């Protein structure tokens, strides 16, 4: 799925915030291991270069105990995500097999 630059930037801000605000600071390696991806992939998410695939995104949201929508809200600024992108993510999650959602 393609996302606009603002959407990537908001996700980047929220992911960084979640990593800093956990009970203890979460490293990229720890997040990668917990979510079944690589440190390089997490580095790309943190840098705002890429967004995770849907199943990885679901794991990230569950890891931090946040609803998926939280990662696309930007209370600190007036920026807004591409609503079509968010709808595509929600649709893709609904299409995932239930076993994938439970395992994530």
For the four alpha carbons of 10, 16, 19 and 24, in that order, the dihedral sign comes to negative
Identify whether 100 is part of a domain. Answer: no
pLDDT of residue 92: 74
Q: Please report whether residue 60 resides in a domain.
A: yes
Query: Residue 35 sits in a domain of what CATH number?
Result: 1.10.260.40
Averaged over successive runs of 10 residues, the pLDDT of the chain (104 residues) comes to: 78 92 90 96 94 91 90 65 66 69 53
Q: Is residue 79 a part of any domain in this protein?
A: yes
Q: Quick check: is 37 in a domain?
A: yes
Q: Which residue segment(s) compose the domain that 55 sits in?
A: 5-95
The domain total for the chain is 1
Task: Give a yes or no: residue 101 inside a domain.
Answer: no
**Residue 79 and residue 6 in contact, taking contact as beta carbons nearer than 8 Å:** yes
What value, to the nearest 5°, has the Cα angle with vertex 57 and ends 18 and 93? 135
The C-alpha atoms of residue 93 and residue 45 are separated, in whole angstroms, by 19
Q: What is the model's pLDDT at position 98?
A: 63
């Amino acid at each position: 799925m393609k996302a606009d630059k603002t959407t990537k930037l908001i996700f980047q801000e929220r992911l960084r915030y979640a990593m800093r605000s956990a009970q203890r600071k979460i490293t990229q390696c720890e997040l990668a291991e917990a979510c079944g991806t690589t440190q390089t992939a997490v580095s790309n998410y943190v840098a705002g270069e890429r967004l995770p695939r849907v199943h990885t995104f679901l794991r990230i949201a569950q890891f931090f105990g946040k609803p998926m929508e939280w990662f696309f809200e930007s209370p600190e600024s007036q920026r807004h995500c591409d609503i079509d992108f968010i709808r595509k993510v929600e649709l893709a999650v609904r299409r995932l097999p239930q076993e994938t959602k439970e395992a994530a």
